[in-house]
Amino acid sequence: MVTPAAVAVELGVWEPPDEAQRALKYALLAFLDARPADACDRSCVPGHLTASALVLDATGEHVLLTLHPRVGRWIQLGGHCEPGDATLRAAALREATEESGIAGLEIGAEPLHVDVHPVTCSLGVPTRHLDVRYLVYAPSGAQPVISDESDDLRWWPVDALPPDTDTVPTMLALSGRPDGRRGAAHHTS
């Protein structure tokens, strides 16, 4: 299982792109310090760390979004940490692979973006997701397969997103790929 110490290492090496992201980074680090036993467990009612993936196609021209059944909007792939996840990066890659049905995804070395949002998740009680997001590329020609965690799943042009996509436009801007150009930065498997 992902430990708060492992998350602190992942967040510690990340250089946020702006002051707002820097403030959230330090808020997440403080939360990890305050909840060393359960910060990454979905049973932590005050909030818990989650991992997400902004999945782009091989050209960087399309983003894969899920119509989330509980949220009711098109959002990036991701979810809770599971016992086999050693890091948030591993959790994000596992979630992206499970939710997309795409093998061979390549994930960035460091987080792309962090977000804290209220949600009523699987325990059925209001909580917060302290979400750490990673940039992921799909192999050329990848075709997603809808899982039971999605009402729908599809590729969207990065310049023609569906309405109410939450922080997806912000993440695309941070990825440096809203124009469809694929960059080498953080593109490692």
Phi-psi region of 140 (alpha: psi -120 to 50; beta: other; left: phi over 0): beta
pLDDT tens digits, 26-70 = 999 999 999 999 999 999 999 999 999 999 999 999 999 999 888
- The C-alpha atoms of residue 102 and residue 175 are separated, in whole angstroms, by 21
pTM above 0.85, yes or no: yes
Cα atoms in the 13 Å half-sphere on the side-chain side of 155:
17
pLDDT in tens, 99-118: 999 999 999 999 999 999 99
Give the C-alpha distances (Å, rounded to integers) separating 47 from 5, 96, 130, 171: 17, 22, 7, 22
Any alpha helices (H) in the chain, and if so which ranges?
4-13, 19-34, 88-100, 168-175
Domains of the chain: 4-175 (3.90.79.10)
Measured at the CA of 116, the angle between CA 113 and CA 118, to 5 degrees, comes to 145
